[in-house]
Structure 1
Amino acid sequence: MSKKMGNAVARNRIKRVVREYFRLHQFDFELPLDIVVVPKRNLEARQLTLALTKEEFTPLFTRICAEAAAS
């Protein structure tokens, strides 16, 4: 993650929240996947919550898993 995302505190918060999402949902994804997450540049780390992360990521990974299973 680049310094464009803010200072070290902000970057670490983003990483912690994303890791926690994957820790809680690691068994929801049936396929073995390597995932790279690139945060949006306008993301405010202070406003990032686990609920917001879940709201953004769950539909994406549901679609990714469905497409991967179909192929």
Structure 2
Amino acid sequence: MGNAVARNRIKRVVREYFRLHQYDFELPLDIVVVPKRNLEAKQLTLALAKEEFTPLLTRIRTEAASS
């Protein structure tokens, strides 16, 4: 990740993704996000975050529903 500028960009994009999708969760949930080491902060966009997180959140929802 590198310097503070890169870390802050990653945090902003991840927070924005979860802000936009906060109502997709029916359960109280704590989620910890650890960025990949080879992640380029300049290339991280909201679209890329959506591509990465949406399948995971769908999986979480289906597993929570089956419990």
TM-score normalised to the size of structure 1? 0.90
Alignment partner, residue 11 of structure 1: 7
5+ unaligned residues in a row in structure 2: which ranges? none
Identity %: 90
Alignment partner, residue 41 of structure 1: 37
Computed over aligned residues only, the root mean square deviation of the Cα atoms, in angstroms, reads: 0.7
5+ unaligned residues in a row in structure 1: which ranges? none
CA-to-aligned-CA distance 1:27-69 (integer Å, 9 cap, x gap) = 0111111000000000000000000000110010110111012
TM-score normalised to the size of structure 2? 0.96
Alignment partner, residue 66 of structure 1: 62
Which 4+ runs in 1 deviate beyond 6 A?
A: none
